Amino acid sequence: MSEKDYLKDISEIKNLMNKSSRFISLSGLSGILAGIYALIGAAIAYWLVMTYSGGTLFIFHGWVFWTCMFVLTMIALLSAVTGIILTTRKAKKTGEKIWDNSSKRLLFNFLVPLAVGGIYCLIILSQGRYGQTGGLMLIFYGLALVSASKYSIGDIQYLGYIQIILGLIASYYPGYGFWLWMIGFGIMHIVYGTWMHFKYDVK
């Protein structure tokens, strides 16, 4: 065997290791869209609270609170649906399977911390400690990303670390929770999505 054959061997090893253990079709565009949804949702919530709750982000009452919750849930759903559609489309283009071992593991490792965090946030909300939820959402979402990153493109873990740091800051300064939430879920998603889009999608 010549040197060239060995080089080819090594690049094939790398390729096989990636293909068999990582799901690489995550779409960058869906990240950008999720960020935009989050910003729109945050703007709606901000407007609601400013107009009907006397301008403080802490005193929620009745329907304002539930409308905010509804908006948040809608954002999460919309982001998930967009993500699934765009990722499926990309996987078809690259000939990758959408539902194989690597994508199952990715989803599982992502959903476990996320579900725990979601339930925890609901408990905190039921106790009326609204100020902590922004930070908690960021922290658990960040942990979910870090845990999923082993089974996808590695870059996703950096987004996770950033969310965790923002979340910790938000827990220390609950008054800025809303703005940090906007930076984390809105702006960071857009930045990350754009980065991914140009790094992997546009070729």
Partner 1 sequence: MSIITNINKLFDHRIRLGIMSVLMVNEYADFNMLKELLGATDGNLASHTKALEKAEYILVEKQFIGRKPNTRYSVTKLGKLEFKKHIEALEKLISKT
Residue ranges that bind partner 1, judged by CB under 8 A: 1, 3, 6-7, 9-10, 12-14, 16-17, 19-21, 101
* Residue 22 CB, nearest approach to partner 1 (Å): 8
Q: Which is nearer to partner 1, 66 or 108 (CB)?
A: 108
The string of DSSP letters for 126-171 reads: HTT-GGGHHHHHHHHHHHHHHHHGGGB-TTHHHHHHHHHHHHHHHH
Q: Which is nearer to partner 1, 9 or 122 (CB)?
A: 9
* Residue 112 CB, nearest approach to partner 1 (Å): 18
Q: Which is nearer to partner 1, 98 or 191 (CB)?
A: 98
How wide is the angle at C-alpha 147 spanned by C-alphas 145 and 153, nearest 5°? 65
CB 192 within 8 A of CB 33: no
* Residue 102 CB, nearest approach to partner 1 (Å): 9
Query: What does the block give as tokens for 177?
Result: 């929770």
* Residue 104 CB, nearest approach to partner 1 (Å): 12
> Buried b / exposed e across 90-104, counting CB within 10 Å, b at 16+?
bbeeeebeeeeebbe
- Write the CA distances from 46 to 17, 103, 153, 161, 177, integer angstroms: 46, 36, 34, 26, 12
Helices and strands (DSSP H and E) totals, the chain: 8, 0
* Residue 6 CB, nearest approach to partner 1 (Å): 5
Beta-carbon contacts of residue 98 (< 8 Å; ≥ 6 apart): 25, 87, 88, 91, 92
Q: Which is nearer to partner 1, 19 or 89 (CB)?
A: 19
Q: Which is nearer to partner 1, 104 or 129 (CB)?
A: 104
Q: Which is nearer to partner 1, 4 or 202 (CB)?
A: 4
* Residue 20 CB, nearest approach to partner 1 (Å): 4
